[in-house]
Amino acid sequence: MTFVSRYWAVIVTWSVIILLLAGLYVASVVSPYWTTFLSGWLLFVFILALLTYNLLNRLPFVSLGASIDWFSFHVSAGLLTLVLFVLHVGLRAPNGLLEVTLTLLYAACAVSGIVGLILLHLLSRRLEMGGEAVSLERIPIIRERLREKIEGVVERTVSEDHSTVFADFHERQLASFLDGPRNYWSHLFGAPSSGRALLTDLEALDRGLEEKERERVEELRVLIHVKYGLDCQQTLQGTLKYWLFIHVPVAYSLLILSFVHTIVISVYTTG
Amino acid sequence: MRLQDDGFRDGQVAPPTRNWVCGRATEETACSNGPDEKGRCRVTMECVPVWEGARWHCSRISDGPCEDGPLPDGACCRSVPACQPIPSLLAVRRRITFWLSMVMVGLSLLFLSGPKGSAFFSPGELTFGHGASVEACADCHAAAHGDLVDRVFALGVSGTGQENSKLCLTCHHLGDHALEVHGRFPKELAVVTEGLSRMPQAADVPLFQDFSSWVLGLLETGEKQLACATCHGEHRGKNFNLLAMNAQQCQTCHARTFSDFANNHPPFSGYPYERRTRIAFDHTSHIGKHFFGEFKKDAPITCAACHRADAAGQTMRTGTFENICASCHAEQIEGVGQSGAKGFAFLRLPGLDLETLQEHGVSVGEWPADANFEDGLTPFMELLLGTDSAFAEDLAFLSGLDDFTDLSDATDKEIAAVGRIVWAVKRLVYNLVMRGQQEIVNRLQMTTNIGARKFADLFGQFPVEVIYAAQQNWLPHLAMELSGLEAGEAVVQLEDRDAEQEIRMDRERERKMMIGGWYRQDSEFAILYRPIGHADPFLYAWLDFTVQATGVKHGRSAEKIFTTLANPKAPGLCMKCHSVDAQAGQRKRIHWAAARPVADERKATRFTHAVHFSLLDDKGCLTCHTLNPEAEVMEAFEHTDPLTFSSNFRAMEKTVCATCHTSKRAGDTCLTCHNYHVGTMAPVLPNAPLTAPSPSTKRTTLIR
């Protein structure tokens, strides 16, 4: 999108938002019913529009602008639905099974969306700063290769250096570290983890070792550091994908129940 | 250290948009093709040999061409065990989405079509009153009939707001124009709106408020009916206030808007004096002039001596005649000290120019020569005789000849008509004596639609014995004469009698009737009625009956009766205080009582007196009601238009109310002082059918 078209897009978007808010204000002045009616319909339309982002992702051959622009629209419209929802429902507790379900679904969708947005903002930056990027699907293979390399180093210390220090260290700490992704929560929140502790323990071994063994320590330190980074990437990339397991299914369910709600309201409420 | 040398395009790992990934994706042996769309492994051999240079060549990529090479038939020699493909993250997410969506669809269909549907889609609890009285959705929702399919198909074609509102009105009676704006007839509202539109627009109306009015003006469709749900939103909990409205909501529709009551609410226009009082009463003269001398002891000291708040504390009621007026006015009404006759002449023999009648050969038979009353027949007699069409024609013919005592200028036809009228009067007297009240009933029932009760009020006390005595004295040969006339015999005139003696007797009779009632006066050949005091039932009945000539064939006679009785100086003095309203398009009516709340009436402005009493200082009622000594109050009662008047009190100033009624003190919302629904609204009455218990039920009960 060029600068000019982006400029117009911003103007149009804000104009629409201002018009909507003005319309809602007028409705609220006239009657609570009008507010509910108008905000309800707008909310339904917005939920439909928000789902177009997901549909467009499924249809990559349809060129309707850059994905980043659609994403921006998705986020803006999603935040606007919060206002519409509050106007529509007011500050009262939901009532009736349909209302309760709708409210819970909307809350789950909105919260997961906001959490996803925050995660995207924070974790993307950490991923960018985390060195070489690997694809999530390749991480198990790369981890397996790393495991083989580390075990190769340990074997060589036994066969060539005749030292069991690293074998003991492997059996005691390394083996479980290499078995799979570790320290999910500490990676997610960027806290110091047992991986760091492992490196500290490895450096502690360094004090009573021969020169050659110290070279092995350096080799292992690099590999463990890589594994640590790989676990971090898996945590961050995985989290960025897994939150959608809540957001997307809940969004479609919300749309379906919103449609049912719209029919029911249209049939019963005419004022 | 480089971790990933290959990407999706290198074929080692399936791209994330695929639904299935290789079962060995986490191993180095993952195949480059990946599973098909249905999740089946597509790899059976390590390569697909290529025909090149007249022989087959191995095309394996992963570890390079194998040593054995393809088989002679071109098949790969190294088979690969099939993997168990696993769904991609995207596919898992889609499955979750699909099944969760299906659950929602299923639950919706289940509940919407099931008997517990209303509990599922009810948007909230009803207010306590509605919750207790409503049994089903269809009680309030016009479209809630039939099953789900019917309801969905009803979308857009039924269940308008007005239809739903009609269901509201089955319980809430809000007048004949309930759904019109303010419940008022549109034309009536248009007049009010036009008046308000001429007022200047307040300068400091909030921008948003102006904007709302402007937008709604654009949306105006000419539809003047408002659905109940426009202002009253249900399903918001048991304790929700359905009547809550804010000022902005009201002002959105109004022709002139303002920001608050104190600053730019339109000034009061004559409030609260919308019309003259129903009882003609001049506060200024009573307070300043009338209570002197012997009446000083009866003077009220405060307003409360005459006015008290009603039980609800809303309106100030005026005390009864007996409590507040009788001490000075009771005797006046009874006729004490009144010059002239103290009663009304109901029946009277008119004076006749007997000589002229004789000259023209018109015989009237026996008639008192000293009957000299010049005003002809009493209006009561005209009413009774007017039921005879021949009489009515004669009377109409003689409309310019009211005085029968001088017929010298009358034509032969007029004199003949006078003769016929005299015989009609004689027949009336005779029939009243012979048939009594039955004669009145017979005459009036021919031409009026008054009921039995009204007859009783009008003629229930009719004195047949007094009539008989009068006839014996005035026309003693009436029966013989009438039969003789029918036989064609000549009739005679009654000789002069002792007039002085008769006058003395008449005075005696009137004195004896000091409490009131019927009596005769021989000197005037009249039967009179003397009012018994305040609220005299005879005068009350006749004034109420004759105030409207409708329903009476001979309305002119009724009007004459009313005019006679309504004379402020007539016996009873009824119309001295009780005003008569005659407004265009409305029935003429007499106000027999001071203003009092009309049952079930809701006015546009409401005020509760009692809650303001504690706020008053020494000025008391005069804080709001200031006397206007210049007002010509009584002039307003010289006509029948109640809206043309001059009030005893100056109109209230808005500032009196605005001292307390601000948003921060006593509140200044529209509904503090105004009602939206105005008009007469009768409460809903139960409509229980009257059914007797069936005999079988009785029997069963007895057996048990």
Q: Give helix A32-58 / helix A244-268 axis angle, nearest 10°.
A: 140
Which of B28, B123, B233 is opposite residue A95, by nearest beta carbon?
B123
Rounded distance between C-alpha atoms, residue A166 and residue A172, angstroms: 9
Rounded distance between C-alpha atoms, residue B633 and residue B646, angstroms: 5
What pLDDT score does B452 carry? 74
Mean pLDDT of B682-704: 67
**Contact between B212 and A25 using a beta-carbon 8 Å cutoff:** yes
* B-chain residues near A22 (CB < 8 A): 211, 215
* A-chain residues near B12 (CB < 8 A): 138, 141
Find residue B307's DSSP bridge partners: B318
Among the listed ranges A40-44, B13-17, B256-260, which one has the minimum average pLDDT value? B13-17
Rounded distance between C-alpha atoms, residue B563 and residue B548, angstroms: 11
pLDDT band of residue B493 (cuts 50, 70, 90) is low
**Contact between B151 and A267 using a beta-carbon 8 Å cutoff:** yes
pLDDT band of residue B154 (cuts 50, 70, 90) is low
Return mean pLDDT, chain A.
83
Identify the helix (H) or strand (E) that includes residue A203: helix A194-205
Q: How many residues does chain A have?
A: 271
User: Dihedral of CA A134/A135/A138/A143: which sign?
Assistant: positive
- In chain A, what are the helix, strand and coil shares in percent, each to the nearest 5? 85, 0, 15
- List, for residues A75-93, the tens digit of each pLDDT value: 888 988 998 898 888 777 7
**Contact between B164 and A257 using a beta-carbon 8 Å cutoff:** no
Which of B27, B89, B231 is opposite residue A31, by nearest beta carbon?
B231
Q: Which two tokens stand for residue B508?
A: 């005696």
Interface of A with B in 234-253 (CB under 8 A): 241, 244-245, 248-250, 252-253
What pLDDT score does B8 carry? 47
What pLDDT score does A136 carry? 82
Rounded distance between C-alpha atoms, residue B196 and residue B676, angstroms: 17
* B-chain residues near A256 (CB < 8 A): 101, 104-105, 108
More confident residue, B370 or B280: B280
For residues B237 and A95, the answer to whether their CB atoms sit within 8 Å is yes
Longest dimension (CA), chain B: 170
pLDDT band of residue B578 (cuts 50, 70, 90) is very high
**Contact between A245 and B96 using a beta-carbon 8 Å cutoff:** yes
Q: Is beta strand B307-309 parallel, antiparallel or unpaired with respect to B344-348?
A: unpaired
- List, for residues A217-254, the tens digit of each pLDDT value: 888 888 888 888 888 889 999 999 899 999 999 999 99
* A-chain residues near B91 (CB < 8 A): none
pLDDT band of residue A271 (cuts 50, 70, 90) is very low
What pLDDT score does B149 carry? 66
* A-chain residues near B154 (CB < 8 A): 267
**Contact between B161 and A134 using a beta-carbon 8 Å cutoff:** no
B496 inside 8 A of chain A by CB: no
* B-chain residues near A142 (CB < 8 A): 3-4
Interface of A with B in 202-221 (CB under 8 A): none
**Contact between B119 and A142 using a beta-carbon 8 Å cutoff:** no
Residue A2 in this model has a pLDDT that exceeds 50: yes
Residue B221 in this model has a pLDDT that exceeds 70: no
What pLDDT score does B225 carry? 78
For an interface test with B, give the residue of A143, A264, A265 to mutate (most B CBs within 10 A). Answer: A264
How many CB pairs below 8 Å do chains A and B form together?
169
How far apart are the CA of A241 and the nearest CA of chain B, in angstroms? Answer: 8
How far apart are the CA of B66 and the nearest CA of chain A, in angstroms? Answer: 24
- List, for residues A119-146, the tens digit of each pLDDT value: 998 888 888 877 777 888 788 888 888 8
User: Dihedral of CA B442/B448/B452/B455: which sign?
Assistant: negative
- Chain-centroid distance, C-alpha A260: 30
What pLDDT score does B81 carry? 82
Identify the helix (H) or strand (E) that includes residue B458: helix B452-459
Smallest Cα–Cα separation from B141: which of A271, A18, A168?
Answer: A271
* B-chain residues near A265 (CB < 8 A): 123
Smallest Cα–Cα separation from B365: which of B286, B405, B307, B419?
Answer: B419
Interface of B with A in 578-597 (CB under 8 A): none
For an interface test with B, give the residue of A19, A24, A28, A33 to mutate (most B CBs within 10 A). Answer: A33
Smallest Cα–Cα separation from A37: which of A29, A46, A47, A28?
Answer: A28
Smallest Cα–Cα separation from B682: which of B596, B600, B598?
Answer: B600
Interface of B with A in 148-167 (CB under 8 A): 151-152, 154-156, 159-161, 163-164
What pLDDT score does B218 carry? 58
In this structure, which amino acid lies at residue A21?
L
B241: buried, middle or exposed (CB in 10 Å: 19+, 13-18, 0-12)? exposed
**Contact between A33 and B228 using a beta-carbon 8 Å cutoff:** no
Which residues have CB under 8 Å from A211's CB, separation 6+? none
What pLDDT score does B428 carry? 93
More confident residue, B89 or B491: B89
For an interface test with A, give the residue of B18, B26, B88, B104 to mutate (most A CBs within 10 A). Answer: B104
Among the listed ranges A57-66, A137-146, B602-611, which one has the minimum average pLDDT value? A57-66
Residue B704 in this model has a pLDDT that exceeds 50: no
A100 inside 8 A of chain B by CB: no
Mean pLDDT of A9-33: 74
Among the listed ranges A165-174, B217-226, B560-569, which one has the minimum average pLDDT value? B217-226
How far apart are the CA of A190 and the nearest CA of chain B, in angstroms? Answer: 22
Q: Where are the alpha helices (DSSP H) in B513-632?
A: 537-546, 555-566, 574-577, 610-613
Q: Give helix A139-159 / helix A211-242 axis angle, nearest 10°.
A: 160
Q: Give the chain B residue nearest A91 (alpha carbons).
A: B236
Among the listed ranges B9-18, B359-368, B392-401, which one has the minimum average pLDDT value? B9-18
- List, for residues B628-637, the tens digit of each pLDDT value: 999 999 999 9
How far apart are the CA of B450 and the nearest CA of chain A, in angstroms? Answer: 48
Placement of tokens 């029946």 in the chain: B347
Q: What is the reported pTM?
A: 0.65
In this structure, which amino acid lies at residue B141?
H
Rounded distance between C-alpha atoms, residue B699 and residue B156, angstroms: 54
A261 inside 8 A of chain B by CB: yes
Counting residues of chain B whose pLDDT is more than 90, the rounded percentage is: 17
Give the 3-state secondary structure of residue B369. Answer: coil
Which residues have CB under 8 Å from B612's CB, separation 6+? none
Q: Catalogue the E-assigned strands of B564-683.
A: 580-581, 589-590, 601-602, 679-680
- List, for residues B516-546, the tens digit of each pLDDT value: 888 888 888 899 998 888 989 889 998 988 8
Give the 3-state secondary structure of residue B676. Answer: coil
